[in-house]
A and B are shown apart, each in its own frame.
Chain A
Amino acid sequence: MKRLSQRLRPARAFVLPFLILLIWQLVQAREVVPTNLLPTPVSVLETIGTLASTGELTEHLAITCWRVVQGFLLGAAVATLLGAITGVSRSARDLLDPLLQSLRNIPSLAWVPLFILWLGIYEPSKVALIATGAFFPVYLSLAQGLLDVDRKLVEVGRMAGFDRFQLVRRILIPAALPAYVTGLRGGLGLAWMFVVAAEVMGASKGLGFLLVDGQQTGRAALILASILLFAVLGKLSDLLLCLLSSRFLQWQDSHSLQPA
């Protein structure tokens, strides 16, 4: 009995979305709000279906995902490098951290004109914008995670005669890993937000383009379809990241892992 409920646990995630869609469908079937403003879930799904059947959908999805992947990897890579340096070395921190912290407060959209001016209106400027978005959560979490490593554990390494490099590799990095993963998840989430910004600013393909297209042609179903796809993709990518990282975090003695 308990087994079954354990196995059905992931299904719980779908209960609420399904209920909302159901109520929405039932209500909108009577056209409480004009359907050209708020289409029914079924017509949103139909829109996705039509896009899929022409092969257009794959193209839009692919280009958006590719931009997110490139931007995220670039941003996360630079953030990992800089976060590791500032987290480990005090002088690097004094030098770099104030600058990066003040850059962080610049609203994301403020970068757009500059990136377009520098990198043109095509892919590089979009990837740069997404990378900027993904950078900060990763940088912050990694640097802070390294700073927060328990002195007590570091002392064990010092007693073992570790040099600085060994301390970093054998204690600081593993101990900061949970914080780093949290940062990566945050960075990935922001990559998805920034891809929308990048594509709304100007693109001829991608889910963000579908948003603009839907607005310009007055098709609410298309907008909602695009939003729905963003939600699904964002969730899936986060899930993937969690799965990839869980192998390295099994040692954590987390309260949430306890079956009470």
Chain B
Amino acid sequence: MLQFESVSKTYRNGFTALEAISLRIDPGERVAIVGSSGCGKSTLLRLAAGLTFPSSGRVLVYGKPVIRPEPRVGFLFQEPRLMPWLSVDDNVAFGLRGPARQRRDLVRSALLRVGLSNCGDYYPKQLSGGMAQRVAIARALASAPRLILLDEPFSALDAIRRAELQDHFLQLWESDQLSTLIVTHDVEEAIVLADRILVMQPHPGRIIEELLVDLPLDDRRESPAFEGLKKRLIHSLRQADHRSASAIHPSAATLSASALQG
């Protein structure tokens, strides 16, 4: 479905955001990437989306190198990115094709899913941050993608809404077998939503660890293994930060890196 083959990304200013990233997402799989702020998570998703291109290595979707955004790939951005001149309805319909009637139905059901069916006539300036992000979620869902890329999609929501939408996404995956790559700094979210969690280390961004979440899908938060997994993830994130901090002193970095691998 989605494949990175030792992908590196160096920005034009010489900053290397990602280094030698390899990963693979199979159809219907849910993968989360956790990493601290600035470690290159958004960059990675933009590469997967075809919004930017690798400096070296290859990004493949359906086995073909990505040269432009794929129609079957949806992107839920870190910010709502609503068109301020369009009503909520028109924002959700943005980019939908097909007869007007069908589009209207898609919009209605997408808004219903995020609990905003009464707000179709609102303009973005009349929405709270959380509402705006839900509209963005509705827009991403309405186009029925096969692979969805989520960039910290729920960070603007209150805890209850967040849990609600997370559960909602889980239902969606069960029914649609939607493949997912979600990026987040919220370890609980990663555990709840993903089957597999990749831990990233900043400066430059690399994947340093992979964790399988072999828990039943519903109510993972209540599962006894949840806390244990969470501790482990937090521990690896700390270590990732520590390693990147010591990367300023190359010898120390090699040392700790080999220590970790050993």
A pairs with B: yes
A233 within 8 A of B: no
With both chains docked as a complex, state the minimum distance between the C-beta of A158 and any C-beta of chain B, in angstroms: 5
Contact-residue size bin, chain B (C-beta under 8 Å from the other chain):
20 to 34
Is there an interface contact between A253 and B125, defined as CB atoms closer than 8 Å?
Answer: yes
Counting chain A CB atoms within 10 Å of each CB, the highest count among B83, B86, B143 belongs to B83
Q: List A residues 174-200 near B (Cβ within 8 Å).
A: 174-175, 177
* Residue among A160, A250, A253 making CB contact with B95, cutoff 8 Å: A160
CA–CA, A155 and B46, complex, Å: 10
A107 within 8 A of B: no
Residue numbers in A under 8 Å from B24 (CB-CB): none
Complex interface bits, A225-258 against B, C-beta within 8 A gives 1, otherwise 0: 0000000000000000000000000111100000
B35 within 8 A of A: no
Counting chain A CB atoms within 10 Å of each CB, the highest count among B51, B73, B124 belongs to B51
CA–CA, A136 and B96, complex, Å: 38
Residue numbers in A under 8 Å from B95 (CB-CB): 156-157, 159-162
Residue numbers in B under 8 Å from A158 (CB-CB): 51, 68-69
Is there an interface contact between B81 and A161, defined as CB atoms closer than 8 Å?
Answer: no
Residue numbers in B under 8 Å from A160 (CB-CB): 94-95, 143
The SS class assigned to the A binding surface is helix
Is there an interface contact between B81 and A152, defined as CB atoms closer than 8 Å?
Answer: yes
Contact-residue size bin, chain A (C-beta under 8 Å from the other chain):
10 to 19
Q: List B residues 60-111 near A (Cβ within 8 Å).
A: 68-69, 71, 73-75, 77, 79, 81, 83-86, 94-95
B49 within 8 A of A: yes
Complex interface bits, B141-175 against A, C-beta within 8 A gives 1, otherwise 0: 00100000000000000000000000000000000
B226 within 8 A of A: no
Counting chain B CB atoms within 10 Å of each CB, the highest count among A157, A161, A162 belongs to A161
The SS class assigned to the B binding surface is loop
CA–CA, A174 and B123, complex, Å: 14
A171 within 8 A of B: yes
Is there an interface contact between B69 and A161, defined as CB atoms closer than 8 Å?
Answer: yes
CA–CA, A175 and B85, complex, Å: 8
Is there an interface contact between B125 and A251, defined as CB atoms closer than 8 Å?
Answer: yes
Is there an interface contact between B85 and A174, defined as CB atoms closer than 8 Å?
Answer: yes
Counting chain B CB atoms within 10 Å of each CB, the highest count among A156, A159, A175, A251 belongs to A159
A27 within 8 A of B: no
CA–CA, A255 and B74, complex, Å: 33
Is there an interface contact between A159 and B83, defined as CB atoms closer than 8 Å?
Answer: no
Residue numbers in A under 8 Å from B74 (CB-CB): 159
With both chains docked as a complex, state the minimum distance between the C-beta of B61 and any C-beta of chain A, in angstroms: 13
Complex interface bits, B189-232 against A, C-beta within 8 A gives 1, otherwise 0: 00000000000000000000000000000000000000000000
CA–CA, A5 and B95, complex, Å: 45
Residue numbers in A under 8 Å from B49 (CB-CB): 159
CA–CA, A157 and B125, complex, Å: 20
Is there an interface contact between B81 and A251, defined as CB atoms closer than 8 Å?
Answer: no
With both chains docked as a complex, state the minimum distance between the C-beta of B106 and any C-beta of chain A, in angstroms: 13
Known: A161-B71, A251-B125. A156 touches B94 (CB 8 A): yes
With both chains docked as a complex, state the minimum distance between the C-beta of A157 and any C-beta of chain B, in angstroms: 7
Residue numbers in B under 8 Å from A253 (CB-CB): 84, 124-125
With both chains docked as a complex, state the minimum distance between the C-beta of A252 and any C-beta of chain B, in angstroms: 7
CA–CA, A251 and B83, complex, Å: 9
Residue numbers in B under 8 Å from A175 (CB-CB): 83, 85
Residue numbers in B under 8 Å from A162 (CB-CB): 95
Residue numbers in A under 8 Å from B84 (CB-CB): 251-253
Residue numbers in A under 8 Å from B51 (CB-CB): 155, 158-159
Residue numbers in B under 8 Å from A250 (CB-CB): 123
Residue numbers in B under 8 Å from A251 (CB-CB): 84-86, 123-125
CA–CA, A170 and B97, complex, Å: 14
Residue numbers in B under 8 Å from A174 (CB-CB): 83, 85
With both chains docked as a complex, state the minimum distance between the C-beta of B137 and any C-beta of chain A, in angstroms: 13
A62 within 8 A of B: no
Given contacts A155-B75, A156-B94, A253-B84, could you give 5 more A-B pairs where the C-beta distance is less than 8 Å? Answer: A153-B81, A156-B77, A160-B94, A161-B71, A175-B85
The residues of A with any CB-CB pair to B shorter than 8 Å are 152-153, 155-162, 170-171, 174-175, 177, 250-253
What would 27 A/B residue contacts be, using CB atoms closer than 8 Å? A152-B77, A152-B81, A155-B75, A155-B77, A155-B81, A156-B81, A156-B83, A156-B94, A156-B95, A158-B51, A158-B69, A159-B49, A159-B69, A159-B73, A160-B95, A161-B95, A162-B95, A170-B94, A171-B83, A174-B83, A174-B85, A175-B83, A175-B85, A251-B123, A252-B125, A253-B84, A253-B125
Which 9 residue pairs of A and B lie closest in terms of their CB atoms, listed nearest first?
Answer: A160-B95, A253-B125, A251-B85, A174-B85, A159-B75, A161-B71, A159-B69, A156-B81, A158-B69
